[in-house]
Amino acid sequence: MQHRHPLAPPPPEPSAVALDKAVNRLVGRAMHDYRMLADGDRVLLAVSGGIDSLVMSWLLRHWQRKAPITYSLLAANIDMGFGGDGPRLMEEQFQLLDIPHLIERTDFGVKAMQAENGKSGCYHCAKKRRNRLFELAREKGCNKVALGHHKEDIIETLFLNMFYSGNLSTMVPRQDLFDGNLALIRPMAYLEKEQIRALGRAIGVTPVPNPCPLSEESKRGTVRTLLTDLYRHDESIKGNIFAALGNIKHDYLLKPTADRP
């Protein structure tokens, strides 16, 4: 946990922080392009405790104060049962953000580690957490679930699916589920990680450490390392990959002639 020098001036209240114009424009564009919010929406914020989900919560709270529409927010943190001070630290961050919230303790992570001798622990853990978020949205009357994924996450998912599943797909900024009764939205889809970190520093949130013993050993981490090395060699690569996700030339993808109508 970060500590502030006792003689240093206190950080500004999160609500008083001015949002960078470039960040505001990118969030607004993502919201508009994918029609993420509408009047009367009830939004469940999926907050893991990482910098991304904390900043996303602040952003939607910030927009709530100035938006021409009315929507409600409820932040949810699902503690996966690995122990530690996570729930207490999460409570501190929610208080700082001044946002309605709930923290639910579970044993999802521990049980997932036991499944298949831990071989598919991450899969089972993520599935249980996702399903519980859907249940919470239904229980609380929420029609949207907001997630803190950003541009790099979307690119990494493309490569994860290519490398390990053999398909071309990624997470999308908006995904409608259950016959349109619930939508997943990713308001930071156009933001880069460094923009999120900078905003996190400005508003003074402190990420809550991930207690999962496999948090640093995932396939996503492997892909991230490969891509980071590519970005280091050519700064345009990241933007080009992201643009390619919306510039698909179907005629130049593999499709056997025998399968064509």
What pLDDT digit, counting tens, does each position of 73-86 carry? 999 999 887 778 88
CA angle at residue 260 from 259 to 261, to 5 degrees?
120
Tell me what pLDDT residue 140 has.
96
Tell me what pLDDT residue 4 has.
39
Please report, for the domain that includes residue 86, its CATH number: 3.40.50.620
Is the CB of residue 77 less than 8 Å from the CB of residue 48? yes
Is the CB of residue 34 less than 8 Å from the CB of residue 174? yes
Answer yes or no: is 257 within a domain. Answer: no
Answer yes or no: is 256 within a domain. Answer: no
Answer yes or no: is 184 within a domain. Answer: yes
Answer yes or no: is 92 within a domain. Answer: yes
Q: Taking all residues of the chain, what is their mean pLDDT, rounded to a whole number?
A: 88
Taking alpha carbons only, the member of 235, 9, 249, 212 closest to residue 118 is 212
**Cβ neighbours of residue 146 under 8 Å, at least 6 residues apart?**
43, 44, 45, 46, 56, 60, 184, 185, 186, 187
Q: Does the pLDDT of residue 103 top 50, yes or no?
A: yes
pLDDT digits over 173-223, tens only?
A: 999 999 999 999 999 999 999 999 999 999 999 999 887 766 666 788 899
Answer yes or no: is 27 within a domain. Answer: yes
**What is the distance between the alpha carbons of residues 90 and 79, in angstroms, rounded to a whole number?**
10
H, E, C per residue of 46-81: ECCCCHHHHHHHHHHHHHHHHCCCCCEEEEEEEECC
Tokens of 83: 């122990």
| Greater pLDDT, 223 or 106 | 223
Q: Does the pLDDT of residue 2 top 50, yes or no?
A: no
pLDDT digits over 138-158, tens only?
A: 999 999 999 999 999 999 999
Residue with tokens 């990713």: 186
Residue 147 domain boundaries: 14-247
Residue with tokens 């950080």: 11
Answer yes or no: is 70 within a domain. Answer: yes
3-class SS of residue 184: strand
Q: Does the pLDDT of residue 41 top 90, yes or no?
A: yes
- Full-model pTM: 0.89
Largest CA distance in the chain: 74
Answer yes or no: is 94 within a domain. Answer: yes
Between the alpha carbon of residue 191 and those of residues 36, 153, 188, the distances in Å are: 15, 10, 5
Structural domains counted in the chain:
1
Q: Which residues on adjacent β-strands are paired with residue 79? A: 105
Q: What angle separates helix 219-233 from helix 236-244, to the nearest 10 degrees?
A: 120
Answer yes or no: is 4 within a domain. Answer: no
